[in-house]
């Protein structure tokens, strides 16, 4: 470590939102040493080290680095799934690396890639210093049954392998092997499809997929490896099956009933709704070549999705935040704060509640609550400095020009050119 890197950094004079839901601290001081937060609090309670580099952020807001708990670093250029098969994987990997930088540049210092092998490769490049990007929690390929949500029904079955997005597996032994393959490649978290969905041609969001034995085998392999699990689950029974089998997180959760919500609260199962991608499909799907049936499914689930989210929140389910953005121009990386705006404008959360979902709660979803998610002593110094007050106007968080500085591990990161 160079002498300059070893120098403590102190941010002074800003309004601080710590991610816990506590009232903001005005005229706050936060000290950073060796990549971690050393002290944080009001100016009259925090001492400034003599050798520190002091940065005046008066008039600005300091927040924890934001987290998107559901992205896909696919490196695609269209919502049309045929292009996902046709595009050259090496080119897609380069695009994915640039998309990762866009996430970081937008203030998202951590993302969970919820399916796709490219994220594992991009993560390696970031960690070795060959690329710039956020912390990535990678799922590897999502495990799908034949004719399931992850099976591209409109192409020969062997073409699925080319996308490096899903791993088709049927029966307990094959599901176990598929889970182990993702772990071998470096997955930090595993994911399975337990229902149909919007973009799959031959099923419905309510279609139940995988047997209980298959889901339990998936969970068991993850537990043996000490990693968390997630499921794409939209229909009630498929959600219930996953929760009963021990899956840690439910993605989407479109049709939640009272019984399932009670089970989630009892078992500590988290929920990551994903409204932004549905909006993108409804608005732009037809122009992009998305199947008409998929656009209609997206239209049909929107109101139920919001209603289920509200019920889960009211019942005490820990709810994170994820866009499910796919990297294409209609659901682009760098626009991840769209979901915060949707939480406020469509669901009715306060800006503070939306921020907590994108910080503390998402850290809980990822099992990283001891490292990131809130601005507290001992945690990684992942934070952003914003022009304006997101508690007065949440949309400032999706205005790149108002993201003044992004810190990851205590270092200001290089920004992308406009």
Q: Rounded CA gap, 397 and 116, in Å? A: 27
Non-local CB neighbours of 96 within 8 Å, separated by 6+ positions: 73, 74, 75, 118, 119, 121, 122, 327
Contact in structure between 69 and 24 (CB atoms under 8 Å): no
Q: SS3 for the chain, per residue?
A: CCHHHHCCEEEEEEEECCCCCCCCEEEEEEEEECCEEEEEEEHHHCCCCCCCEEEECCCEEEEECEEEEEECCCCCCCCCHHHHHHCCHHHHHHHHHHHHHHHHHCCEEEEEECCECHHHHHHHHHHCCCCCCCEEEECECEEECCCCCCCCCCCCHHHHHHHCCEEECCCHHHHHHHHHHHHHHCCCEEEEECECCCCCCCCCCCCECCCHHHHHHHHHHHHHHCCEEEEEECCHHHHHHHHHHCCCEEEECCCCCHHHHHHHHHHCCEEECCHHHHHHHHHHHHHHCCCHHHHHHHHHHHHHHHHHHHHHHHHCCCECCCCCECCCCCCCCCCCCHHHHHHHHHHCCCHHHHHHHHHHHHHHHHCCCCCCCCCCCCCECCEEEEECCCCCCHHHHHCHHHEEEEEECCEECCCCCC
Q: Rounded CA gap, 243 and 212, in Å? A: 10
Q: Which residues pair with 143 in a beta bridge?
A: 167, 192
Q: Which residues are catalytic?
A: 191, 324
Q: How far is CA 269 from CA 217, 228, 243, 261, in A?
A: 18, 11, 7, 9
In terms of Cα–Cα distance, which of 108, 67, 112 is closest to 248?
Answer: 112
Question: For strand 36-42 and strand 25-33, is the pairing parallel, antiparallel, or unpaired?
Answer: antiparallel
């Amino acid at each position: 470590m160079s002498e300059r890197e070893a120098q403590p950094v102190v941010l002074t004079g800003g309004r601080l939102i710590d991610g816990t839901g506590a009232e903001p601290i005005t005229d706050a001081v936060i000290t950073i040493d060796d990549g971690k937060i050393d002290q944080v609090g009001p100016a009259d309670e925090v001492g400034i080290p003599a050798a520190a580099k002091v940065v005046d952020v008066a008039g600005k807001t300091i927040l924890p680095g934001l987290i998107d708990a559901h992205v896909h670093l696919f490196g695609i250029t269209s919502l049309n799934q045929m292009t996902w098969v046709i595009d050259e994987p090496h080119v897609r990997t380069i695009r994915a690396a640039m998309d990762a930088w866009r996430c970081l540049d937008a203030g998202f210092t951590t993302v969970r890639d919820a399916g796709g092998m490219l994220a594992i490769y991009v993560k390696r490049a970031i960690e070795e210093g060959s690329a710039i990007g956020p912390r990535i929690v990678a799922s590897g390929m999502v495990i799908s049954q034949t004719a399931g949500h992850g099976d591209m029904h409109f192409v020969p079955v062997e073409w699925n392998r080319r996308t490096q997005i899903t791993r088709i597996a049927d029966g307990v032994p094959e599901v176990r092997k598929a889970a182990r393959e993702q772990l071998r490649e470096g997955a930090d978290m595993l994911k399975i499809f337990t229902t149909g969905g919007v973009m799959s041609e031959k099923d419905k969001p309510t279609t139940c997929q995988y047997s209980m034995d298959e889901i339990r085998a998936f969970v068991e392999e993850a537990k043996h490896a000490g990693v968390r699990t997630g499921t794409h689950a939209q229909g009630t029974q498929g959600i219930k099956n996953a929760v009963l089998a021990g899956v840690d997180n439910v993605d989407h959760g479109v049709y939640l009933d009272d019984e399932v919500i009670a089970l989630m609260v009892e078992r500590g199962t988290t929920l990551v709704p994903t409204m932004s991608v549905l909006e993108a499909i409804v608005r732009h799907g037809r122009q992009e070549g998305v199947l008409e049936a998929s656009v209609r499914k997206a239209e049909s689930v929107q109101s139920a999705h919001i209603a289920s989210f509200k019920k889960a929140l009211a019942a005490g389910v820990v709810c994170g935040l994820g866009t499910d953005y796919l990297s294409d121009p209609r659901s682009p990386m760098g626009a991840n704060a769209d979901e915060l705006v949707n939480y406020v404008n469509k669901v009715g959360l306060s800006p503070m509640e939306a921020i907590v979902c994108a910080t503390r709660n998402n850290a809980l979803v990822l099992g990283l609550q001891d490292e990131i998610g809130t601005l507290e002593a001992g945690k990684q110094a992942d934070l952003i400095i914003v022009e304006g007050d997101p508690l007065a106007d949440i949309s400032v968080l999706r205005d790149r020009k108002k993201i003044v500085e992004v810190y990851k591990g205590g270092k200001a990161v290089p920004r992308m050119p406009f």
